[in-house]
Amino acid sequence: MKVKDLLFAIGNVSPEYIEDASPDKEITVRRVSVKWVSLAACLCLVTIIGILAYPKAKPPIEVPPEPPVIETPTDPPIVENPIVPEIEKPYTPPENTPVSSGADITPPAIGGSDPTFSRKYIDEVYNIYICDEIVGREASDKWVNEVFLKLSPEEQEALPNVYMMIVAFDISKEALERKNKELGGDELQQSTIDALYLEDVKEIKRALKNPLALYYDGEIYTFDELRAKRNEDIPSDVLSEYFDFIESVSEENGTLKYDLELIDGARALYGIKI
């Protein structure tokens, strides 16, 4: 089968579907607004209380397919966002994984303006709709207005939004799984739910990292962040490998002609030769 066969076949699907999807048709979607989605990220502040209250005895859970991850060769000092509490369990960094290997990526469509370059986590964990459904819109609104909105943008992005709500409202894994099932099972993948309940925050961050972001030394960095301002904490060989990875994904997506200037600009910022 050729891709054009598929493209033409899509042209012969039910007229009702075509009519229903027409761009000139008004869309009414029950969605969490953009504001809401980003608001959820704020739970950072509440994490302090939440994590303390959160039950620690959970079995080890399988982490979703490993996205590109870079670790320092030696056990790095743990530098956490001040609003994120330290976890009692000592952190053991996983084995070194070069960016270009071990990456199980289904590259999302990327492009010059695509926010996948600016997100730290996978999209699923920005959508707090499922948490809304569990805790109720009123409670969720209150939390967003009184807690989340008072955080800085960096604090809002520090942890996966859904995780913030889980912590703030002490949502159990069972409750999340139940609601996810009720909503058709599409809101969160099981592997995402499992990752949200890992014991170590660093492991949670790593497991839920946007495939196009860089995980290094317990922190996540986005491509947009790295190209906007020089980061002195990350070794240039790590960055070099990361930018190569971004280039390969872009090439695979057929968007390299739009992205190459950005990628080369980032390399130049760090004095990395092409």
Partner 1 sequence: MEDFRILDLYFDRNESAIEETDKKYGRYCRSISYNILSSHEDAGEVVNDTYLKAWNSIPPSRPDPLKSYLGTITRRLSLNRYEHINAQKRGGRTAVALDELSECISEGEDIGESVALSDSLNRFLGGLSRDKRRIFLRRYFYMCTVSEIARDFNMKESTVAMMLSRMRRKLKMFLEKEGFFV
Query: Any contact of residue 160 with partner 1 (CB under 8 A)?
Result: no
Site for partner 1 in 29-68 (CB under 8 A): 29, 31, 33-34, 37
Q: Calculate the dihedral angle through the C-alpha atoms of 131, 128, 85, 70, rounding to the nearest 10 degrees.
A: 130
Min dist CB 75 to partner 1, Å, is 33
Contacts of 185 (CB under 8 A, 6+ apart): none
Rounded Cα–Cα distance for residues 268 and 127 (Å): 35
Q: How far is CA 75 from CA 4, 91, 92, 142, in A?
A: 51, 9, 7, 40
Is 274 one of the binding residues for partner 1 (CB under 8 A)? no
119 binds partner 1 (CB under 8 A): yes
Work out whether 112 is an interface residue with partner 1 (CB under 8 A): no
**Which residue type sits at 35?**
K
Q: Which of residues 175-204 bind partner 1 (CB under 8 A)?
A: 184, 186
Which CB sits closer to partner 1, 7 or 57? 7
Q: Contact between 104 and partner 1 (CB under 8 A)?
A: no
User: CA–CA separation, 142 vs 120, rounded Å?
Assistant: 25
**Cβ atoms of residues 246 and 263 within 8 Å:** yes
Contact between 74 and partner 1 per CB under 8 A: no
Q: Would you say 5 or 138 has its CB closer to partner 1?
A: 5
Residue 254's contacts (CB-CB under 8 Å, 6 or more residues apart) are none
CA-closest candidate to residue 204, choices 196, 215, 212: 196
Q: Which of residues 14-33 bind partner 1 (CB under 8 A)?
A: 14-24, 27, 29, 31, 33
Contact between 138 and partner 1 by CB under 8 A: the answer reads no
For the chain, give me the number of helices (H) and strands (E)? 14, 2
Q: Which of 64, 253, 264, 269 binds partner 1 (CB under 8 A)?
A: 253
Beta bridge partners of 221: 214
CB proximity list for 25: less than 8 A, separation 6 or greater: 19
**CB 38 to partner 1: min, Å:** 9
Interface residue with partner 1 among 113, 138, 229, 232 (CB under 8 A) is: 113
Closest to partner 1 by CB, 23 or 60: 23
Question: Length of the chain in residues, anyone?
Answer: 274
Residue 153 binding partner 1, by CB under 8 A: no
What residues line the site for partner 1 (CB under 8 A)?
Answer: 1-24, 27, 29, 31, 33-34, 37, 106-111, 113-116, 119, 122-124, 126-127, 184, 186, 253-255
